[in-house]
Chains A and B, each alone.
Chain A
């Protein structure tokens, strides 16, 4: 897509992995302001915590394999699902795509040498690690990790003896890290686009990250102050959410969801962006409905910010509010469906190359559709009364967040892996892992949807006999899923060391990152490219 100047960037330039900066060894990484190295720093953190989160999930499933208290106690079970939720949401699903793939590829895709504020970018990573360490410290200090669920609802967050203050402070720090990444991306997109890179020549991954960044900036401060208020509550007893002192726990839920609902769009929008990159590449045609997809990202960001009340249909908010929130929730389905139709239209009559990234991207569409439809079901007032706080919600959430975001993240990792590390993984093993993940995933979470519909409540450490066979199927599914995930991770890690050298453009992608060598040179481009056509012109 860019001028001829790019074709000879290969000679004499040191790639970012071999580049010698001010520091060497590990210091050359943890003090590097190179957006690509910071992306990999996040990747190592995300992978590490993902393995921990998976292990916690496995423990939860293992307890449900049998009836009665077997593997863990009821209290431990509460702590386990809280920790599982906090780790998976705040340490993995929120940062995975923006902080890893976004950091690495957003500057290259807009034709810049780095993000707008490289030092702030490094600072974000340090905040991320600080938050993670604080969360871990709270495990082993005064009362242990909270047993409140990842939502930290009042008034239980005031009454429980567990170490709520430290955990919510960790969430506050993580939120700050997320805000600074968003701030950096917005400024980068506005200020550092290469000459000729007009707004409508931006890759759609950049559009998705741009929309995400606005939510990060505008919604995260609200959860920041909410967490701070719990922190103050526990330290000084200000009692703003404490009913004993006149406080209103419903207000806590409002403030919490004003952030935490938009947060699920922080999680899913970048995933949609990744899928939008992969589909045109492997269909070898331009994207269908570029402007509609770009606009729908902003539409989801906007509409998604106004639906938080659908988490509170049975909490005692007013009926009028519930009706309005229910209607707004349905509206989110429109821009989402626009994306799905455009992806399918792009594939139509394309020259399909069924490589591992496309397999993951297609399974994203399938799983995300189930997640989306069950979401609309939960947005219906009368249905929600029946399904609220059941496994149906858990199943829905995992279809969206795991089947959606994490599947897109894995798709993106397989798509960009040769670019990031200059090596190719074993595609047959990658396909095998995909098949296991897909089968295990549906066994685990579709069963949860059924269990929930039959009335199995969430967050119980035990279950009644009529749910037993369902739980056994789900637990066996979790083993298959984890086996697939492990094979997938090991396959990629092995390729790091011993994979064959990858070409600059193994998939025949058309966006700017495929025009630079693999791995990219230290400052991405020898000369800033001049862009003279759209992102997906094959």
Chain B
């Protein structure tokens, strides 16, 4: 009987890593559906106001959008490299790549801040007198733009904080085997943030 109990305990420990990853994937599904709701709205409104959406898109700052896309894509690479480095046991390299990811994520937010500020400065923000005079399609475009990139930006911020937290964990307890699964799950989350941006970027910036 004891041998069975031992295998059970062994299996429980074993299941922790796979279980944790499964939990993370399930959570990512919920995130996809959260944004999925907004993509449905985007699709419905764009089908209705095709022309106004194209016009409004031209007003967005494409160079900054492109720069941000490059930043996020590269940061997805560095977080993957960081995971691989930790898998191979080189913690310092892992930390370096993780730091690079955090810096790029932060850079994305700074760009976003300047981009939003410029728009708001020009009087384009929800419920602004200027926007209220615009056509329905334009109002909807910018409403969706602010809500979707805003919620995405919030996810980037959370991602930066989570990765920062994992960085301090690796710093404090370098030998803790639990770090790896945390980093891997953090990386999965970061990739999700990246994937959503890959859809947001063309839908808002590249349709003009």
Interfacial residues of chain B within 20-36, with CB under 8 A of chain A in the complex: 22-23, 26-27, 29-31, 33-36
Interfacial residues of chain B within 127-162, with CB under 8 A of chain A in the complex: 127, 132, 135-137, 139-140, 143-144, 146-147, 151
Q: Does B18 contact A (CB under 8 A)?
A: yes
Q: Which residues in B have their C-beta under 8 angstroms from that of A528? A: 4-5, 8-9
Complex Cα gap A236–B30 (Å): 25
Q: Which residues in B have their C-beta under 8 angstroms from that of A225? A: 34-35, 37-38
Q: Does A238 contact B (CB under 8 A)?
A: yes
In the complex, the answer to whether B34 meets A190 with C-beta atoms within 8 Å is no
Complex Cα gap A251–B144 (Å): 14
In the complex, the answer to whether A5 meets B12 with C-beta atoms within 8 Å is no
In the complex, the answer to whether A190 meets B139 with C-beta atoms within 8 Å is no
In the complex, the answer to whether A255 meets B37 with C-beta atoms within 8 Å is yes
Q: Does A232 contact B (CB under 8 A)?
A: yes
Partner of A240, one of B29, B35, B135, B144: B144
Per-residue interface assignment for chain A, residues 213 to 252, with 1 indicating a CB less than 8 Å from any chain B CB and 0 otherwise? 0000111111011101100100011111000011110010
Interfacial residues of chain B within 22-72, with CB under 8 A of chain A in the complex: 22-23, 26-27, 29-31, 33-38, 40-41, 44-45, 48-49
Tally of chain A residues near chain B (CB < 8 A): 45
Total inter-chain residue pairs, C-beta < 8 Å: 117
Question: Chain B interface: which of A179-187, A469-477, A490-498?
Answer: A179-187
Are A229 and B147 also in contact (CB < 8 A) when A245-B140, A255-B37 are? yes
Partner of A238, one of B8, B11, B126: B126
In the complex, the answer to whether B33 meets A222 with C-beta atoms within 8 Å is yes
Nearest-neighbour CB distance to chain B for A258, whole angstroms, equals 8
Nearest-neighbour CB distance to chain A for B5, whole angstroms, equals 5
Complex Cα gap A91–B144 (Å): 31
Complex Cα gap A118–B137 (Å): 47
In the complex, the answer to whether A245 meets B139 with C-beta atoms within 8 Å is yes
Complex Cα gap A221–B33 (Å): 6
Q: Does B7 contact A (CB under 8 A)?
A: yes
Partner of B22, one of A182, A190, A195: A190
Are A239 and B139 also in contact (CB < 8 A) when A218-B33, A255-B37, A528-B8 are? yes
In the complex, the answer to whether A246 meets B137 with C-beta atoms within 8 Å is yes
Q: Does A192 contact B (CB under 8 A)?
A: yes
In the complex, the answer to whether B137 meets A226 with C-beta atoms within 8 Å is no
Q: Does A194 contact B (CB under 8 A)?
A: yes
Q: Does A512 contact B (CB under 8 A)?
A: no
Nearest-neighbour CB distance to chain B for A315, whole angstroms, equals 15
Q: In this complex, what residue of A is CB-closest to B12? A: A192
Q: Does B178 contact A (CB under 8 A)?
A: no
Q: Does B171 contact A (CB under 8 A)?
A: no
In the complex, the answer to whether A226 meets B143 with C-beta atoms within 8 Å is no
Q: Does B19 contact A (CB under 8 A)?
A: yes
Q: In this complex, what residue of A is CB-closest to B31? A: A221
In the complex, the answer to whether B41 meets A186 with C-beta atoms within 8 Å is no
Q: Does B117 contact A (CB under 8 A)?
A: no
Q: In this complex, what residue of A is CB-closest to B40? A: A255
Q: Does A527 contact B (CB under 8 A)?
A: yes
Are A236 and B127 also in contact (CB < 8 A) when A179-B30, A183-B23 are? yes
Q: Which residues in B have their C-beta under 8 angstroms from that of A217? A: 26, 29-30
Among A195, A239, A255, find the residue whose CB has the most chain B CB atoms closer than 10 A.
Answer: A239
29 pairs, CB–CB < 8 Å, chain A vs chain B? A3-B1, A116-B15, A182-B26, A187-B26, A190-B19, A191-B18, A192-B19, A217-B26, A217-B29, A221-B31, A221-B36, A221-B37, A224-B34, A229-B147, A238-B126, A238-B143, A238-B146, A239-B127, A240-B140, A240-B143, A245-B136, A245-B143, A246-B135, A246-B136, A248-B48, A251-B41, A251-B44, A258-B37, A527-B4
8 cross-chain pairs, A with B, having the tightest CB-CB distances, nearest first? A246-B136, A237-B127, A528-B8, A221-B33, A225-B37, A221-B34, A191-B19, A238-B143
- The chain A residues found within 8 Å of chain B, CB to CB, are 3, 5, 113, 116-117, 120, 179, 182-184, 186-187, 190-192, 194-195, 217-222, 224-226, 228-229, 232, 236-240, 245-248, 251, 254-255, 258, 527-528, 530
